[in-house]
A and B are shown apart, each in its own frame.
Chain A
Amino acid sequence: MPVKFEVNGKPVEVEVEPRLTLADCLRHHLRLTGTHVGCEHGVCGSCTVLVDGAAVRSCLLLAVQAEGAKVVTVEGLSLEEGLTLLQASFRKHHALQCGFCTPGMITTAHALLSEEPDCDADRVREVLSGNLCRCTGYISIVEAVLDARSAYKRDGKGA
C-alpha cells in the first residue's frame, strides 16, 4: 500500500507491504542506511529515529504507521560538511568505536538534549540505557552527551 510521510524535511511516497518496518523502509526503500538495525525486536536502540520529534525505535513501527509523520534520521541531523557540536563531541570523547550503534546514540541524545538541555549524568545514563553499545563501555558516550549540552542551551538545535 502507498504511504506518504516526510523524511529529513523532504516529502516521500513509498509503496510498501504493511509488514515492512519503518527501519527497513528507511534503509532499503529510501536508501537512508545511516539508521541501523541491530536486533529487530526493540532492544538495542540502533534504529532510533525521531518521529514527530520523539525518539522511537523504527524496528517497532510499521512504515504504514508513519503516514503523515515527520521522520528525522541521523542523516537529517548532519551537516553537508563538517560535524555538528554533538557529533564533534562524540569524536572528541572517543564515544564510538565500530560506529554501528552511533546513529542511534546521536538521534537519542539529540532528542534528549533538545527537550532537556540541562539534564544531568544520571538522566543521560537512564535515557541511553535503551541503546546498546558493545565497544565503548558507555563512559565516553555519557561524557560526550554531557559536553554537548551547551550547544542545545544556546540555540536549541545542536548545530
Chain B
Amino acid sequence: MRTVNAFVGQPIERLEDFRFVRGRGQYVDDLARNDMLHAAILRSAVAHGRIRTIDVSRAKKVPGVHAVITAADLGDPIPLVPMRLQPMPEFEAFGQPVMARDKVRYVGEALAMVLADSAGVAEDALSAIEVDIEPLPAVANWQSAAKNETLLFENKDSNVTMKFRAVLGDAAAAFKDAPYTRRESFSTQRHTALPMEPRGLLAEWDAASGRLTLSGAAKVLFANRRILAKQLGLAVDAIDMVEYDVGGSFGARGEFYPEDFLIPFAARHVGRPVKWTEDRREHLMTMNHAREAACDVEIACARDGTILGLRGHAFVDMGAYMRTNGAVGARNIAQFMSGAYRVPNIDLDVSLLLTNKTPVGTYRGPGRFETDFFRERLLDMAARDLGIDQIEFRRRNLVREADMPYKVATIAPFEHKDELDSGDYQVTLNRCLGEFGWAEKEKLKGKLIDGRYHGLAVCCFIEGGAAGPKESARLVLETNGTLTVYMGSSGVGQGLETAFAQIAADAMDMPMDRINQVFHGSTTYVSDGYGSYHSRSIVMGGSAVLDAATKLRAAMSAEAARRLNCGAAEVVLADGRATAPDGKSVSWAELAPEPLSVEGAFSNHKHTWAYGAHAAHVAVDPKTGAVALIDYVAVENCGRMINPLTLKGQLVGAVVQGLGGAFMEHLAYDENGQLLTGSLADYLIPTASDFPKIRGFVMESHPSPINPLGAKGAGEGGIISVGGVIANAVADALRSLGVEPRDLPLSPSRVWQLVQDAK
C-alpha cells in the first residue's frame, strides 16, 4: 500500500462521464427484450375507501392486452411491503399490501395492472377498468389523524403507529430552574426527492431454470432480493438483481416498493419479460414522500446563552402505510434535534401518524433537514431574546473538540446509542464566515436597499454517515495484470466508479488506468452487499476495498515468493512487478495465470459525523414576498476526502435541493386527500436561473477514528442546514417588521402574508 496516496484526495475527473456525456449511459428504460410486455398500473383516484368491485372484463378485451392482474390474482394473504430499517413488530400491522384488495388508503395506490404489447395500449386499457369504491372520510393531515375519529386501520385503535422518545440527562430538572425558556411551534412541508429518472423495472422469468432476473434494481439490491424471494417463494439465489445506470436516488429510489413485487410477479405470471416505466404523474403520487413534520419545542438557557435543555413533541405525517425506511426521518427528528450543539438535557418525543396520503420514506438528510430548521430557528430566537450575537451564541454551545466522542440522546424504544466521532466544529464555522465575508456583509443586516430588506444567517450542522453492518468488495487480478473491482455498494449517480478506482489504485499501488472497471449494483458480483444509503458507500465500500487489497496483495506476495524463492514478506509489489530482495522479479500478469479473485469486507456499528456550516445572504421584497438569494456558502469537513471534485458536487447539489425545499417544493393535498401537485409544472424544483451564487468548500481534518480510510460519509451535509439558514436570514432581513417564519416553504405568497400579519 502506498505511504503517500497518488489518487485519493485528488480532484480526479470522473470515469463514468465518458458514457454519460455521449448519451451512452444505460438506464433501465433503455433495455428491450424480444417478446417483452409493457405494464401499466391503475391507481386509486380515491384517498380513502372500501373497494366494492374492480371489473377488468372490458380491459381484457382491448386488442394487444395479454393480462390484467388484480389483488385477486395475487393469492392470500397479499404480500406486504416490509420494514427494512427499524423492523419492529409494532409496525407490521401497518405494512402496505402490494396491491389494494379491501381498502384504498391513498391516491395512487395500485388497484390493477395491465400487461400489453405497448405502453400506450396498456394505458388505453386502464381506462376500460371499472372501479367501484365506497368513499370513506379522508384523514388529510396529522392533526386530524391524531383525533382518531377516522382510522386508517380499523383493527387498530389509533392512527399513531409509534412514538419515539429521545432522552439525555434530566430535562425536567433543567427546565425547572432555567433562567430563560422559550417555546415555539414550527413545521416543514411534504416534499420529495424527485430523481430525474423515473423508476423502472424489467423482470425476466426463466421457467426452465426457475430463475428471475430483475433489472432496474437500485440502492439496496441484496435486501430487496431477500424480500422478493420470500414473497415469491423462491430461493434467494434464484434471483439476480441487476442495477443499470441510475438517474438519482437521494434516498427514495431503490427502496422496496409495491411494483418491485408486482412486475416480477407479472413476468412469472405470463412467462414473458415485463417492463414497467413509471411516468412522472405516477412518480409524484407513488414514490416515497418526505419531510412533513411539525413540532412544539422548548429551549432552556442560562443567561450567558449556555443551552441547558430541549424538550417537546414532534409529529410526523407518515402517509398511509409504514414503508421500508419510513421511520428513519421521525427517529432523526427526535435524536438529532441537538445537532452540533452541547445540549445536556433532552426529552423529545415524536409521534408517527398515519394519513390518507402517499407513504413516506427517506429523502437526503431525512429528519435532519426538518429538525435543523426547527432548532436553528429556535436558536436565533433565543439568541435575540438574550441579547447575544447569533454567531457567539452558537460558538458557546458547539460540541468541543475535547468533548469527542460526544454522546447524543438515546432513542427509545430501540435504546439506540450514538456518539459524535471527531472534529473541531469551530473551524468549519470560522471557514464559513470567512469565505462568506460575514464581517463585511454584517452592516447589511436588516437594511432596506432599493425596496428590499437584506438579511444574513449562519447555521452549523452534523451529518451522520457510514451505517453498518457491513460492506463487501471483490478485487480480481486479471491475467494481463490489470485489476477489476466488484462492489456491494450501489451507484445512484454519485460517482462511485471513480472514487473506488482511486481507493483501489492507491491500495494496490498501481496506476488508475490499470483498473479495467468498477462493477457495482448486482447481486451477481459479491456474496453480500448492503448498498447505498446513509452516506455510507465511500466509508463502508472504500474500507472493504482496503481490506480486499490487503488480502490480494498477500496472495500476490505469496505467489511471487513461491516463484522467486524468497519470503512473502520480502516481496515488493510495485510498478506492475513483484520483486524479490535479490532483484529477480515477475510481472503481475505472471502471478495470475488464472484471474486471482479475493473478497474483502468491512464491518462497523458506529457512525461517522461529517460537519460544517452554512451561511446565507438574502434580500426580501416585502411587496411581492420574493426572496432573492444573494450569496450562499456551505462548508463541510468529511475527515478525509477521496475526491474533492465529486465531494464539492455533492455539497453544492444538495444545497440547491435544499433551496427547493426551503422555497418552492410542496406536495399539496386538499381536504379530501387529493394530491394537487400532479405534474412538474406544479411541483417546482430549482432551475438554472433560480440560485446563481452557491459556493461550496470542502475540507479534511480530524479523520474518523472508526474506519481505516478516516473518511466520513458526506452526501447529505449540503441539504441539512438549508431550511434553517434561509428562514433565519429571512427573519433577519425582516426583523424591523417583527417577522418570524415558522413554516416552510417560504413561497412568495407566504412571505408576503408574514409581512401583512406583522403590520
Binding site for B on A (CB under 8 A): 17, 19-20, 27-28, 31-41, 43-44, 46, 73-75, 78, 83, 87, 90-92, 94, 96-103, 106, 121, 124-126, 128-142
Contacts and interface: CB of A to CB of B under 8 A. Distances in A.
Contacts of A142: 688, 692
Contacts of B196: 36, 38, 44, 46, 98, 100-101, 132-135
Contacts of B248: 97-98, 100, 134-135
B753 to A, nearest CB: 27
Contacts of B681: 41, 43
Contacts of A99: 16-17, 19-21, 25, 245, 247, 493
A143 B194 CA distance: 24
Given A44-B280, A99-B247, A100-B27, 12 more contacts: A38-B280, A39-B280, A44-B196, A44-B680, A83-B21, A96-B21, A99-B19, A100-B248, A134-B248, A134-B250, A137-B654, A137-B691
B685 A73 contact: no
Main secondary structure of the interface of B (DSSP, over half): loop
Interface stretch (B97-105, B562-570, B641-649): B641-649
Contact of B692 (A39, A125, A133, A134): A125
A37 B17 CA distance: 19
Contacts, number: 182
A35 to B, nearest CB: 7
Contacts of B44: none
A96 B495 CA distance: 10
A16 to B, nearest CB: 11
Contacts of A37: 29
Interface residues of B, number: 57
A135 B25 CA distance: 16
8 residue pairs, one from A and one from B, having the closest CB atoms: A34-B23, A98-B493, A99-B20, A137-B656, A100-B247, A74-B23, A33-B30, A43-B680
B23 A33 contact: yes
B381 to A, nearest CB: 29
A98 B689 contact: no
Given A36-B27, A74-B22, A129 B679 contact: no
Contacts of A131: 687-688
B8 interface: no
B195 interface: yes
**Most chain B beta-carbon neighbours within 10 Å: one of A35, A41, A94:** A94
Given A125-B692, A134-B685, A100 B493 contact: yes
Given A78-B22, A98-B196, A126-B689, A138 B247 contact: no
Contact of A103 (B23, B29, B679): B23
B699 interface: no
A73 B23 CA distance: 9
Interface string B689-706: 111101000000000000
A138 B687 contact: yes
A41 B280 CA distance: 9
Contact of B197 (A32, A38, A141): A38
Given A40-B280, A44-B196, A83-B18, A34 B24 contact: yes
Nearest to B277: A37
